[in-house]
A and B are shown apart, each in its own frame.
Chain A
Amino acid sequence: NAGVTQTPKFQVLKTGQSMTLQCAQDMNHEYMSWYRQDPGMGLRLIHYSVGAGITDQGEVPNGYNVSRSTTEDFPLRLLSAAPSQTSVYFCASSSGTGGYNEQFFGPGTRLTVL
């Protein structure tokens, strides 16, 4: 199993550009989530999904969109990037619905917005 994979590993955007961060898991997990981590800070929950077709907001959802069309994939879209979105983004997945079970994290995407 590859576990949770994220692409790209690094990305530089200009203010106003859009992009999609990819996240995929091959463990047939129902629950997937996106976090951001600013320098020296803990992780903050952006959006999460308890199954295909179901998504909900976390602590800091503004400026981000998500969709969950398959169990395997959970992309995060930045519609109009801002410097405040410079951060490291982690995707995670867990079995069952909800975050009750152990979450497996991907290696992260390091995003810089100029």
Chain B
Amino acid sequence: DAKTTQPTSMDCAEGRAANLPCNHSTISGNEYVYWYRQIHSQGPQYIIHGLKNNETNEMASLIITEDRKSSTLILPHATLRDTAVYYCIAYYYNTDKLIFGTGTRLQVFP
């Protein structure tokens, strides 16, 4: 099973880009990388996912290295409302399970 590792916490100045790294060196070819975030004690919120190619949506960009061993979630212009715990997750395609890790606590400061 692929596992993901993330830094425990990060800071980012408001208006700057937040780059959140994730290591998934044991990911297999058919495992997607998902990103969710959890603001305070609310239910997690989907951000983005990808397999091989870089992805972008209205919330963020996902950059996956060519060897797929790591990825970076980019919030291009962080705001105070982006303060949250960000989870990088490897989706186990054959098991239908989405397994969360402990995530990165991002603090955006003024």
Q: Which residues of A line the B interface, CB within 8 A?
A: 4, 31, 33, 35, 41-45, 48, 50, 56, 58-59, 88, 90, 92, 97-100, 102-108
B42:A107 contact, CB within 8 angstroms = yes
Q: What CA separation (Å) do A42 and B103 show in the bound complex?
A: 7
**Is the beta-carbon distance between A100 and B43 smaller than 8 angstroms?**
no
Q: A56-B96, A100-B93, A107-B42 are in contact. List 20 more A-B contacts (CB 8 A).
A: A4-B43, A31-B96, A33-B98, A43-B100, A44-B100, A45-B97, A59-B97, A59-B99, A90-B43, A90-B44, A92-B44, A97-B96, A98-B96, A99-B96, A99-B97, A103-B44, A105-B43, A105-B44, A108-B41, A108-B43
Residue pair A106, B96 in contact (C-beta under 8 Å): no
B30 vs chain A, min Cβ distance (A) = 11
Contact of B44 among A43, A44, A48, A100 (CB under 8 A): A43
A72 to B81 CA separation, bound complex (whole angstroms): 32
Closest to B92 in A: A99
The answer for the CA separation of A105 and B39 in the assembled complex, in Å, is 12
Closest to B46 in A: A102
Q: Which 5 A-B pairs have the closest CB atoms?
A: A105-B43, A99-B98, A98-B96, A43-B100, A102-B46
Query: Do B98 and A45 touch across chains, with their CB atoms under 8 A apart?
Result: yes
Name the distance in Å between B43's Cβ and chain A's nearest Cβ: 3
Q: Are B97 and A58 in contact (CB under 8 A)?
A: yes
- Which B residues touch A106, using CB under 8 A? 43
Q: How many whole Å from B90's CB to the nearest CB in chain A?
A: 11
Nearest residue in B to A31 (C-beta to C-beta)? B96
Kindly name the residue among B43, B45, B102 whose own CB sees the greatest number of chain A CB atoms within 10 A.
B43
Complex: how many Å from CA A98 to CA B101? Answer: 19
Known contacts A90-B43, A105-B44, A107-B43; A42 and B32 CB within 8 A of each other: no
